[in-house]
Every structure is written in structure tokens, then in C-alpha cells.
Amino acid sequence: MSDVNREFLFSYRFAGAEWGTSVFAKDPAEAKEKIKAMALARYDGELHMRIPASGGLGGWLARFIVFWKSKVSDHQS
């Protein structure tokens, strides 16, 4: 077996509509176990923004936002 995680797709019905999600795992069996474990998941919050942290403007912007938020939270403490 490979240690490289692959992305596996799942679909489900909710409120009369078809939805989909994906899970990263080593193999389909591990992906199915992760989906089962999601029934015990806790709510951590809402994702407001996703910025690629790779090179170029996106990476610079992501680093600036992290820097700025850390400075703002330091001043609020």
C-alpha cells in the first residue's frame, strides 16, 4: 500500500437534494472509515476565505493576512 493520500468522492442525499464531498485517504477502505468517523465530528466554525499559500501574489497575501491577524489579536489581549 502507498502512503500517498488520494482523494475519494462520496455522495449523499439531504433535504431532497444530492450533495457530494471528498475525503483524502490511502485507499477506499480508509476513506469509508473516515466518512463513518464524521458522524462524531465537532463543529469548528465557518470557512470564510481560502487563499493558496503557494508563490506569487496569493502566497504573499496569505502571509500578510496571517501576520496582520496575529498583530491585531496581540493588541486585543
> What's the mean per-residue pLDDT of the chain?
85
pLDDT at 24 over 70: yes
Answer whether residue 2 shows pLDDT above 60.
no
Using CA atoms, how far apart are residues 53 and 63, in angstroms rounded to an integer?
8
pLDDT higher than threshold 80 for residue 61: no
Query: Can you tell me whether residue 66 is helix, strand or coil?
Result: helix
Report the alpha-carbon distance of residue 33 to residue 22 in Å, rounded.
13
Residue 63 — pLDDT band, cuts 50, 70, 90?
A: confident
Q: Taking a C-beta distance cutoff of 8 angstroms, is the pair 24, 4 a contact?
A: no
Answer yes or no: are the C-beta atoms of 13 and 19 closer than 8 Å: yes
